[in-house]
Structure 1
């Protein structure tokens, strides 16, 4: 009987680990096989034509904070609108399969800030700003006094507004940044 119980426990642990691994690998936001240079160049061309900037999010499917940020934007209508109205977005993979080191070198090595990291490019592909996402995290605490995990919607919104075409144009300071 003990042997059956031990076999059942071992089977449960192995099955649980396999299911957890499958769930972890189910997220496929970043494509390690993507041509990051081509994706950025295409976004820059679209941004120039549309009068927008480019929002480059560097991270990987392994990065819980990267996935959390993407989900926050995807489920917050105002953030999604601010991003779509003002930016062409590109997700650049950073993982053991493809670190995109040559591309990130052209963006001034943003990975030095951790992940996700955001790079704002103008319509010519010039780096305007690199944002360490840790500065966009929430300061809220839960009922037990522990800091909540995630990014602050208001802080992220202000960051996005601060790097729009209108916001960085001296002729339009103050318009569209409130």
Structure 2
């Protein structure tokens, strides 16, 4: 009986940790929606492959967000992407994949081969945002690793950059 009760409470706590915060968080002079948990996958490479296949079928780009739960900038980006405004853009233009990269700077990196696959040998911080064509070409090689200040960016600037990348010629 106690074991069943404990299991139920533990499961409820795990699910609660995956929700996003409805309110905004003050950060760097800006307000942003922050995801409490950065959704990750057991097989990120397969998720990227599936997104590339869907993108080829529907004429979209693939947005690969490489970040981590411990990073407030990763959670800020995930929070923005979950808002209605960004979700509309994503639904129209992108296949979205979140990839957990752990803590590479402390020799606890995960899924780093995905960045290498698309020509990024080093990820200097988190998050990193890779925009790919359906053929796997990196559209934003010049800005993919510059998202580590997302919590300080303005909503309109983030949205504008993602809009531009959705249609950028390669």
If the TM-score is normalised by the length of the shorter chain, which range does it land in?
0.5 to 0.7
The answer to whether the 8 Å contact 1:52/1:87 transfers is yes
Match of 1:117 in 2: 128
Q: Give the TM-score taking structure 2 as reference length.
A: 0.67
The 3-state SS of whatever aligns with 2:46 is helix
Alignment gaps of 5+ in structure 1: 1-21, 138-148, 170-178
* Alignment counterpart, residue 162 of structure 1, candidates 152, 161, 164: 164
* Alignment counterpart, residue 153 of structure 2, candidates 146, 151, 154: 151
Higher helix share: 1
Match of 1:61 in 2: 69
Aligned residues: 132
Match of 1:92 in 2: 99
Q: Deviations over 1:54-87 (max 9, x none)?
A: 0000001111111111112223x22221122100
Q: Deviations over 1:76-115 (max 9, x none)?
A: x222211221000001111156511222211223752411
The answer to whether the 8 Å contact 1:69/1:150 transfers is no
Distance 2:121 2:48 in 1: 15
Alignment gaps of 5+ in structure 2: 1-12, 18-35
Higher strand share: 2
The 3-state SS of whatever aligns with 1:162 is helix
The 3-state SS of whatever aligns with 1:89 is strand
The answer to whether the 8 Å contact 1:59/1:116 transfers is yes
Distance 1:54 1:90 in 2: 8
Match of 1:30 in 2: 39
Max Rg structure:
1
The 3-state SS of whatever aligns with 2:136 is coil
